[in-house]
Amino acid sequence: MKARDIIGTGGRRLGGWLLVYAGIVALVGVIAGIIWNRTVQLPSYVIGDDYWARISEGGLAQIVGVDVAMSLIGLIAGPIIGLIAWVLFRQTGWPVTIIASLGAGLAAVIARGFGEFIGPRDFPERIATATKGDLVKIDFAAHTWVPLALWVAMAMVPILIGSLIKPAQWITHEPGTESDSDQVKGASAAVGVELVE
């Protein structure tokens, strides 16, 4: 089999696994978005007799909880995505870190978008139509992109552990082909480097 045929076959196989990985990442993002939306207790504004909207100090503190919950979910979802990337792509070597980072970042974006899509949304319209005594929840929305960085960082943990336990194979060969040392010597000769035994 010619080299270009081997590369072509490997490329198609890698592309297939990347599609599978993208699907898993999207699924994790959607599930995380639902969990995020359902677990956060949003504070509410109270419409007074004078039709002024007021919120307590405790309610203001709860606003931060939206981002905290997103970060906590990332502590679990990030390593899951990183572990899947390691299992599927560890033989690619260092690119597995890029694949895991992109996957975790994409999952975080999907989770944020889906969670915010569920709502509640349109706070200005809801509070404009509220009457005295009504409780109007704030919009469900993240206020910072810091959790995304945490998702990406946590995705690196399984890869770091995996690389220590079982390093990725940078040079591989199949039975009946030249050995690793022969491949290294051939590559060195091609670039004009002489190896000393």
Give the integer Cα–Cα distance in Å for 30 and 108: 9
Query: Does the structure show a pLDDT above 70 at 55?
Result: yes
pLDDT at 182: 56
Dump pLDDT digits (tens) for 120-137.
989 888 888 888 888 899
Q: Provide mean pLDDT across the span 163-174.
A: 60
* Residue 136 CA neighbour count, 13 Å, CB half: 24
- Domain range list for the chain: 8-168
For 71-109, what is each residue's pLDDT tens digit? 999 999 999 999 999 999 988 888 999 999 999 999 999
Q: Is the dihedral of CA 132, 135, 140, 141 positive or negative?
A: positive
